[in-house]
Chain A
Amino acid sequence: NAGVTQTPKFQVLKTGQSMTLQCAQDMNHNSMYWYRQDPGMGLRLIYYSASEGTTDKGEVPNGYNVSRLNKREFSLRLESAAPSQTSVYFCASSRSRDSVSNQPQHFGDGTRLSIL
């Protein structure tokens, strides 16, 4: 009963290094999301993919890129990591496919990323 799986669980990078965070869901969901969670800030949306083949910016997209590889997988890439990107990153998915639906999002357990 995997749900949403994120890899890696922990990572330490040096400033300027690049990295890709992986996310896969096995619930046949249409929409997928990437959030970051920082103390006192709540969860903030970085990018989302409403359906396979589409991606859109969220609230805090700068410094990130995404790829919706197929219906199951949605990756987040940091091209040149900065200390301000130290955070916990969560991937989520939902059955919703358009702006009409209001299905809940289901989350993975996160990737804890530190950038020195």
Chain B
Amino acid sequence: EDQVTQSPEALRLQEGESSSLNCSYTVSGLRGLFWYRQDPGKGPEFLFTLYSAGEEKEKERLKATLTKKESFLHITAPKPEDSATYLCAVQVPGTASKLTFGTGTRLQVML
């Protein structure tokens, strides 16, 4: 069974304090790993797709990396507007683009 585990469950940072969120996965083959951001009362917003080990993607203060067993979302010098829940999801072959989601990391960035 495909499994996705995110850690930590919650993270509180001071503005400017860099950190990383972890997404570990156990799947029978990986077609893609997806990162989403979810704000309270909203749907998940797509951030990145990673396809193979060693790949990296960047967007503003966020950088996502991928290994064969896990992905990291690095947040550099975060700002309060980066506060959100970050979700990780995996897609495996032969599943009609279905995603298996982790439970998310709730990030709070304080002034």
Contact = CB atoms under 8 A, between A and B. Distances in A.
B102 A96 contact: no
- Which of B4, B31, B43 has the most CB atoms of chain A within a 10 A radius of its CB? B43
B43 A50 contact: no
Interface string B79-109: 0000000010101011111110111100000
A58 B97 contact: no
Interface in B13-67: 31-32, 34, 36, 41-46, 49, 51
B96 A99 contact: yes
Interface residues of B, number: 27
Interface size class of A (residues with CB under 8 A): 20 to 34
Contacts of A44: 101
Contacts of A110: 41-43
Interface in A7-58: 31, 33, 40-45, 48, 50, 56, 58
A102 B98 contact: no
- Which of A4, A50, A105 has the most CB atoms of chain B within a 10 A radius of its CB? A105
Given A45-B98, A99-B95, A108-B43, 10 more contacts: A42-B87, A42-B104, A45-B99, A96-B97, A101-B97, A102-B51, A104-B49, A107-B43, A109-B42, A110-B41
Interface of B: 4, 31-32, 34, 36, 41-46, 49, 51, 87, 89, 91, 93-99, 101-104
15 contacts: A4-B43, A31-B97, A42-B4, A42-B103, A43-B44, A43-B87, A56-B96, A99-B94, A99-B97, A103-B97, A105-B46, A105-B97, A106-B46, A107-B36, A107-B45
